[in-house]
């Protein structure tokens, strides 16, 4: 279930400029970012969310969660060290998290093992080794669906032939993997655009970026192209296409030749709003940036850098989820230059070095727009310089374009670390009295 697809996309141009990440979790509202910290001393960080299991090779592994409830403080999922295994360059990975379930991939040399971790619940924390799947999957193709209180389904959608996919699924009730064909019976409506420019032909095919649960179904999302919806619990699953808003500005670049569309996850995000008594609703966000490269002299040792001139956040909603583009409704378009920032928060950002007299809020290098699970808050990663290992997270209230918080939440252990964050409400399943590990002051999570 491992994937390196996003790391080799073409370098972004002036409005698609950033493709590097760090992974932490922020508990600003019920939105959580998860980071792995491998090889941690048990005596320092252990708490009552710990659970253990045994690898196929007989080694024991233990994981545990640290999730303080104070706003924007980092929360980490830790894994204890394993004899003879170096996680430095290939650490364990959170593939996805749904409700009280976290799907984890742990590399073991040339192979991987997969675990389901539950940090809380009526039976206490648990860690379960999964049977080995019949095939190797890309991480982005793997989804997780909670089925009742105890069981779950893991599903992977793989293209087979035109309009036919293989659906690989694992049923926790039977503890078995299965494979069935899933035909695309309702393709999404063609793009409402006469011709897709040559440089933007990435829009002509589906390449999954992430998987989201939508009620009892799952959606394989290509953040550029659209969503493939599938009832994974059906004996005869079928696929239906749902388009996503077109990046129209990108199609007009280069005198009509279009922009080279790289990895979309640094600019686009999606979530599902599932309010009690109401049908699920899709919420979509896009980060639009205006930036230009900083040209250094030939003798300069400086790394690639960009100057940000301004950025916007645009949100859409879709409650019908049919194959039509007309289901999407633009909600808001927010300009960073018009964002309301309190004097206390502005002073804090100046003191941290995030802002300066020469660098206003709209000049921050931002990326990885992600919606909170209530759909009203957008989270962004912010850096002072391109590829800077020091990362801040911003929480932006979309209703009134107000900055709710900004905090340094990670310093990458390796430059340009390829890690991601995603929404989760896992903290509500953890006993507040056991959720916070005692981390000594001054301890670095990223040595």
DSSP 260-302: ----GGGTEEEEEE--TTS--EEEEEEEEEEEEEPPPPTT--P
Which pair of structure tokens corresponds to residue 77?
């999922």
Q: What are phi and psi of 238, to 5 degrees?
A: -130, 155
| Location of structure tokens 């030749």 | 257
Which of these ranges, 139-153, 395-409, 423-437, has the smallest mean pLDDT? 423-437
- Give the chain's largest Cα–Cα span: 64
Strands 74-80 and 35-40 come out as parallel
Task: Taking residues 351-363, report their average pLDDT.
Answer: 95
What pLDDT, on the 0 to 100 scale, is given for residue 413?
A: 53
Triad 180, 183, 188: Cα angle to 5°? 140
What pLDDT, on the 0 to 100 scale, is given for residue 149?
A: 86
d(CA 86, CA 81) in angstroms, rounded, equals 8
Which of the four pLDDT bands, split at 50, 70 and 90, describes residue 68? low
Which of the four pLDDT bands, split at 50, 70 and 90, describes residue 411? low
Through-space distance between the first and last CA atoms of the chain, rounded to whole angstroms: 28
What pLDDT, on the 0 to 100 scale, is given for residue 342?
A: 95
Which architecture, in CATH terms, is 5-293+304-429?
7 Propeller (2.130)
Triad 380, 105, 34: Cα angle to 5°? 25
| 434 pLDDT more than 70 | no
DSSP lists the bridge partners of residue 230 as: 218, 239
Give every strand in the sheet of 93-98, ordered side by side.
93-98, 101-108, 111-118, 126-129
The more confidently predicted of residues 1 and 321 is 321
From 293, 288, 330, 326, select the one nearest 310 (Cα to Cα).
Answer: 288
Give the CB-side neighbour count of residue 232, counting CA atoms within 13 A. 33
* Total count of residues recorded for the chain: 447
What pLDDT, on the 0 to 100 scale, is given for residue 4?
A: 42
* Other residues' Cβ atoms within 10 Å of the Cβ of residue 55: 15
d(CA 7, CA 333) in angstroms, rounded, equals 29
DSSP lists the bridge partners of residue 228 as: 220, 241
| 94 pLDDT more than 90 | no
| 16 pLDDT more than 60 | no
Residues 365-376: tens digit of each pLDDT:
999 998 887 788
What pLDDT, on the 0 to 100 scale, is given for residue 242?
A: 96
From 288, 228, 257, select the one nearest 18 (Cα to Cα).
Answer: 288
The more confidently predicted of residues 334 and 77 is 334
CA dihedral (187, 191, 195, 200) positive or negative: negative
Task: Taking residues 116-142, report their average pLDDT.
Answer: 88
Task: Taking residues 193-218, report their average pLDDT.
Answer: 84
Contact 57, 83 (CB under 8 A): no
| 339 pLDDT more than 60 | yes
Output the CA–CA distances (angstroms, integers) from residue 45 to 87, 341, 444, in the order listed. Answer: 18, 35, 12
Task: Taking residues 3-10, report their average pLDDT.
Answer: 39
| 425 pLDDT more than 50 | yes
Average pLDDT score, the chain: 79
d(CA 387, CA 370) in angstroms, rounded, equals 19
What pLDDT, on the 0 to 100 scale, is given for residue 8?
A: 34
What pLDDT, on the 0 to 100 scale, is given for residue 46?
A: 62
What pLDDT, on the 0 to 100 scale, is given for residue 176?
A: 96
What pLDDT, on the 0 to 100 scale, is given for residue 155?
A: 97
* Other residues' Cβ atoms within 10 Å of the Cβ of residue 186: 14
What pLDDT, on the 0 to 100 scale, is given for residue 75?
A: 52
Task: Taking residues 367-388, report their average pLDDT.
Answer: 87
Name the percent of the chain lying above pLDDT 90.
41
Which pair of structure tokens corresponds to residue 348?
């804090």
């Amino acid at each position: 279930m491992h994937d390196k697809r996003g790391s080799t996309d073409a370098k972004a141009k002036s409005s698609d400029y950033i493709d590097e990440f760090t992974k932490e979790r922020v508990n600003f509202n019920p939105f959580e970012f998860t980071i792995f910290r491998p090889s941690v001393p048990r005596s320092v960080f252990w708490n009552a969310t710990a659970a253990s299991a045994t690898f196929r090779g007989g080694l024991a592994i233990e994981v545990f969660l640290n999730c303080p409830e104070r706003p924007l403080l980092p929360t980490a999922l830790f894994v204890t060290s394993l004899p003879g295994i170096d996680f430095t360059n290939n650490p364990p990975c959170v593939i996805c998290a749904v409700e009280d379930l976290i799907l984890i991939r742990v590399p073991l040399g040339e192979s991987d093992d997969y675990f389901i971790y539950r940090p809380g619940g009526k039976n206490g924390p648990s860690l379960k080794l999964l049977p080995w799947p019949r095939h190797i999957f890309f991480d982005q193709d793997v989804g997780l669906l909670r089925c009742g209180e105890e069981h779950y389904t893991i599903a992977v959608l793989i293209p087979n032939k035109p309009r036919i996919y293989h659906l690989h699924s694992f049923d926790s009730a039977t503890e078995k993997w299965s494979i069935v064909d899933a035909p695309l019976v309702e393709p999404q409506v063609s793009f409402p655009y006469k011709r897709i420019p040559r440089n933007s032909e990435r829009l002509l095919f589906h390449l999954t970026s992430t998987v989201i649960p939508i009620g009892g179904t799952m959606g394989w999302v290509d953040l550029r192209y659209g969503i493939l919806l599938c009832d994974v619990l059906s004996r005869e699953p079928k696929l239906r296409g749902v388009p996503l808003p077109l990046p129209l500005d990108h199609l007009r670049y280069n005198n009509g030749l279009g922009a080279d569309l790289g990895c979309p996850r640094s600019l686009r995000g999606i979530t599902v709003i599932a309010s009690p008594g109401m049908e699920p609703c899709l919420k979509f966000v896009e980060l639009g940036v205006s930036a230009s490269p900083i040209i250094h002299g030939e003798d300069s040792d400086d790394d690639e850098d960009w100057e940000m001139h301004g950025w916007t956040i645009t949100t859409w909603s879709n409650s019908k989820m049919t194959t039509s583009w007309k289901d999407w409704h633009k909600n808001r378009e927010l300009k960073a230059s018009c964002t309301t920032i309190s004097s206390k928060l502005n002073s804090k950002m100046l003191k941290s070095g995030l802002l300066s007299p020469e660098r206003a809020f709209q000049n921050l290098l931002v990326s990885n727009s992600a919606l909170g699970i209530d759909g009203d808050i957008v989270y962004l990663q912010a850096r002072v310089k391109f590829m800077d290992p020091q990362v801040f997270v911003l929480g932006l209230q979309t209703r009134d374009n107000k900055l709710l918080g900004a905090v340094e939440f990670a310093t990458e252990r390796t430059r340009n670390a390829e890690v991601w964050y995603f929404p989760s409400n896992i903290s509500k399943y953890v006993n507040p009295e056991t959720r916070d590990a005692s981390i000594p002051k001054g301890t670095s999570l990223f040595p």
